[in-house]
Amino acid sequence: MRFYNQTHQFYCGIDLHARLLAICIVDQTGTVVLRRQIPDNQQQLRELLAPYRPDVVVAVECLFAWYWVADFCAAEGIPFVLGHALYMKAIHGGKTKDDDIDAEKISRLLRGGNIPFAYVYPKGMRETRDLLRRRNYLVHQRAALITHIQITNAQYNLPPFGKKLIYAKNRAELKVAEHFPDAHVRKSIALDVAVIDCLDEQIADVELYLKRTVKVEDPHSYFLLQTIPGVGPILGLVLLYEIHQIGRFAEVGDFLSYARLVRCQHRSANKQVGSGGKKIGNAHLKWAFSEAVCLLIRSCPAVKGWQARQEKKRGKKKTLAVLAAKLGRAVYLMLHRKVAFDVRRFLGA
């Protein structure tokens, strides 16, 4: 957990909503100098902050609407702090809660150096990352539709499909909709197939767009990530845009924690009392490393042999977790040193 501890003359906390800003400003002595609610209008926010502009810092929680506030502060030259929502919830929980109270608590946490901050993903690459996440969402929707076809097929005890339905050519050859004798079921499956075909077209288009974009934004790191056996263009994109700048992680442990690749232990009185924090970190990066490990085992015989030996000692689940952490450490060092993946160094040979 990292805290913002720089000193300023004024501290502005904003409880951010889609159409409303609850603002509280305190000075160095902790006295509330302004408390107001305004609509989400940049001009009104600019006028409200004008008397405190010589030395003011703005903080908001890391919720969906923070993009425009961060861009506004960057354009105006105002220091901006993005508070980590989960950590802040644990710190400033109280009996009474409303927008004005939340804004004041944010400003007081900021003044006391107790506000845990998150990474402010910069404008420019942020939009590409969100487009990539949207592409992943569409892929999940396509997989859900294919699963529905297979479940319906089993539900009516019909012969299994001989080929994978993920490929459009196979769906056309098998005439998937005609496979079902009932007219209503056939209509339902035809609807699924039509949506799948549309998603295939849109996914292919956005993937081409993303591949062209990354060649302009960060081609070197992108091709470095693809030197890992099994990591292709799309998985390389996910790793690149979810990590962004590897320099923002001071140590490899910080990166592994962010990627959810290590278990967070809870200790009290020198005794381990469990673990937690499994949902704190980047879920997209956790998924990417889980996929990359499976593809690495499939693509690299040396890693597959190492995994087989470790399974006898640790079991399959723990071995995959250890391998994912090793891969996360390797990616951290690769991007820091600007070197390609080396399987011998990865396995310690």
pLDDT tens column, 129-152: 999 999 999 999 999 999 999 999
Q: Could you report the per-residue pLDDT of 155-172, keeping only the tens digit for each?
A: 999 999 989 999 999 999
Q: What is the pLDDT of residue 94?
A: 66
Provide the β-strand partners of residue 265: 275
Q: How many CA atoms lie within 13 A of 313 on its CB side?
A: 6
Q: How many CA atoms lie within 13 A of 4 on its CB side?
A: 26
289's CB contacts (< 8 A; 6+ apart) are 239, 259, 261, 324, 327, 328
Asked if the model's pLDDT at residue 277 lies above 70, the reply is no
The pair phi, psi for residue 37, each rounded to 5°, is -115, 130
Spans of all domains in the chain: 3-116, 125-217, 225-347
Q: Could you report the per-residue pLDDT of 306-329, keeping only the tens digit for each?
A: 999 999 988 999 999 999 999 999
**Are 202 and 190 spatial neighbours (Cβ–Cβ below 8 Å)?**
no
d(CA 39, CA 43): 10
Task: Report the chain's mean pLDDT, rounded to a whole number.
Answer: 91
Q: Which pair of tokens denotes residue 84? A: 């980590």
Highest-confidence segment of 112-121, 129-138, 174-183: 129-138
**Band (273; pLDDT cuts 50, 70, 90):** confident
The amino acid that residue 144 corresponds to is A
Q: Which pair of tokens denotes residue 227? A: 């030197």
Length reported for the chain: 349
**The CATH number of domain 3-116 is 3.30.420.40:** yes
Taking CB atoms within 8 Å and a gap of at least 24, the contacts of 242-246 are: 242/129, 242/282, 242/284, 242/285, 242/288, 243/285, 243/331, 243/335, 244/119, 244/121, 244/122, 244/125, 244/129, 246/332, 246/335, 246/336
74's CB contacts (< 8 A; 6+ apart) are 80, 123
Q: Which pair of tokens denotes residue 241? A: 């845009």
**Are 115 and 4 spatial neighbours (Cβ–Cβ below 8 Å)?**
yes
SS3 17: coil
Q: Which pair of tokens denotes residue 153? A: 């097929």
d(CA 323, CA 300): 13
The amino acid that residue 211 corresponds to is K
Q: What is the pLDDT of residue 347?
A: 87
**Band (110; pLDDT cuts 50, 70, 90):** very high
Asked if the model's pLDDT at residue 223 lies above 90, the reply is yes
Count the Cβ atoms, other than its own, within 10 Å of residue 294.
14
Asked if the model's pLDDT at residue 265 lies above 80, the reply is no
Can you tell me the mean pLDDT for 229-235?
Answer: 94
**Are 281 and 257 spatial neighbours (Cβ–Cβ below 8 Å)?**
yes
SS (H, E, C) 101-122: HHHHHHHHHHHCCCEEECCCCC
The pair phi, psi for residue 10, each rounded to 5°, is -130, 145
DSSP 39-78: ES-HHHHHHHHGGGGGGEEEEEESSTTHHHHHHHHHHHT-
Q: Count Cβ atoms within 10 A of the Cβ of residue 284 and give its class: 0-12 exposed, 13-18 middle, 19 or more buried.
A: middle
Unique residue bearing structure tokens 């009474």: 96
